[in-house]
Amino acid sequence: MAKLSIKKGDNVMVIAGNHKGQSGRVLFVNTEKERAIVEGVNMISKHTRPNADNPKGGIVKQEAGVHISNLKIIDKSGKPTRVGRKTDNKTGKSVRYSKNTGEVIK
C-alpha cells in the first residue's frame, strides 16, 4: 500500500462532496479504508444506549470518515495544496512538501 499524504494532526480542507469548503484538523486516519476523521466535518447523529458516560442515552453528534481523496492539506499560506515527497538533504529521509510553495510540511 502506498504512503498517504495526510497524517493525524494536519490541517485539511474538504475539496469534494457535501462538505466541500469546510476545514479542520485530522483526528484519526484509517489507512486500510483510506479514510480520515476531520474535526467538525461530516457530523452524524448516533443513537446511544445508556452507559456510565451518558446515563440517559440518546442521540450524540460525532464526526464520520471522509475519503482521503477528498482532502487537501492547508499549507502555511492558508491555501489548500497538493503534497509531494522528496528526500531531505540533511537526514536522507523522505519528507512531505507543499507543491505550491515548495516548503517542507512539518
Q: What are the residue ranges spanned by the domains of the chain? A: 11-78
| Entry pTM | 0.83
Strands 11-14 and 71-74, sheet pairing = antiparallel
Q: Nearest-5° angle of CA 33, CA 38, CA 44? A: 85
Residue with grid cell 453528534, as numbered in its chain:
61
State the average pLDDT over residues 91-104: 92
Q: Helix, strand, coil proportions of the chain in percent (round to 5)?
A: 5, 45, 50
* Among 27, 12, 28, CA closest to 69: 12
pLDDT value at 1 more than 90 = no
Write down the pLDDT at residue 106: 79
pLDDT value at 2 more than 80 = no
Q: Which three cell numbers stand for residue 11?
A: 490541517
| Eight-class DSSP state of 104 | B
State the average pLDDT over residues 19-41: 96
Question: What is the domain class of 11-78 according to CATH?
Answer: mainly beta
State the average pLDDT over residues 90-94: 91
pLDDT digits (tens, 9 = 90+) for 38-90: 999 999 999 999 999 889 999 999 999 999 999 999 998 899 999 999 999 89
